[in-house]
Amino acid sequence: MPREFPNDPDWFWLRCQWQPTGLLRFDVSVQDVPADGVACLVTPLSEADGGAMLAADQAMEWIWQLGGSGVYAISLGMLALAQIEVGKPKPDPLAALARCDRAVVPPMTGRFGSIEVWRAVCAALDMNMPVYVLEQGADA
């Protein structure tokens, strides 16, 4: 598979290149995400509607929903916000992502335009990590 990813979000390209591998799965439900290991919740942060604090609240709702299905998850956005709030530099998302077994992209507004989501998804795929893009109708 190509290891060179477009700099800007190009989800059509990503689907064409990566969906056939089975690593990129679109329109899945929360119940389709395997419960073993740790999932990395990938959400928009700086581009989110309502700002970073609302995005963190929404991420927490998704962690709660995933947990209800037996999926243990951490949130890149919440980790970044926590670091910023205590005056530390924004953490490297790849360090957190590398500790996970899969990435999950919930249906939050702005997810397909977010450079943060794009980079995390590309990094996960580059690590041969499964990526689950939840269906639009999923609830948090």
Quick check: 137 pLDDT over 80? no
Chain segment 91-135, per-residue pLDDT in tens: 677 888 899 999 999 998 889 998 889 999 999 999 999 999 999
**89: domain range?**
28-134
Check residues 49 and 18 and name the one with the higher pLDDT: 18
**Considering the domain boundaries, does residue 10 fall inside one?**
no
Closest CA to 109 of 26, 53, 50: 50
Closest CA to 11 of 140, 114, 130, 99: 114
**Considering the domain boundaries, does residue 17 fall inside one?**
no
pTM of the shown model = 0.88
**Considering the domain boundaries, does residue 102 fall inside one?**
yes
**Considering the domain boundaries, does residue 20 fall inside one?**
no
Question: For residue 32, what pLDDT is reported?
Answer: 94
Domains contained in the chain, number? 1
**Considering the domain boundaries, does residue 45 fall inside one?**
yes
**Considering the domain boundaries, does residue 16 fall inside one?**
no
**Considering the domain boundaries, does residue 82 fall inside one?**
yes
Question: For residue 51, what pLDDT is reported?
Answer: 63
CATH assignment of the domain containing 112: 3.40.50
- Could you write out the DSSP letters of every residue in 49-102? TTHHHHHHHHHHHHHHHHHHTT-EEEEHHHHHHHHHHTTPPPPPHHHHHTT-SE
Closest CA to 43 of 103, 127, 125: 103
**Considering the domain boundaries, does residue 13 fall inside one?**
no
**Contact in structure between 104 and 82 (CB atoms under 8 Å):** no
Chain segment 29-63, per-residue pLDDT in tens: 999 999 999 999 998 876 555 566 677 788 889 99
Other CB atoms within 10 A of residue 36 CB: 10
Strand pairing category for 102-105 and 72-75: unpaired
Closest CA to 33 of 59, 71, 76, 68: 71
Structure tokens at 80: 């970044």
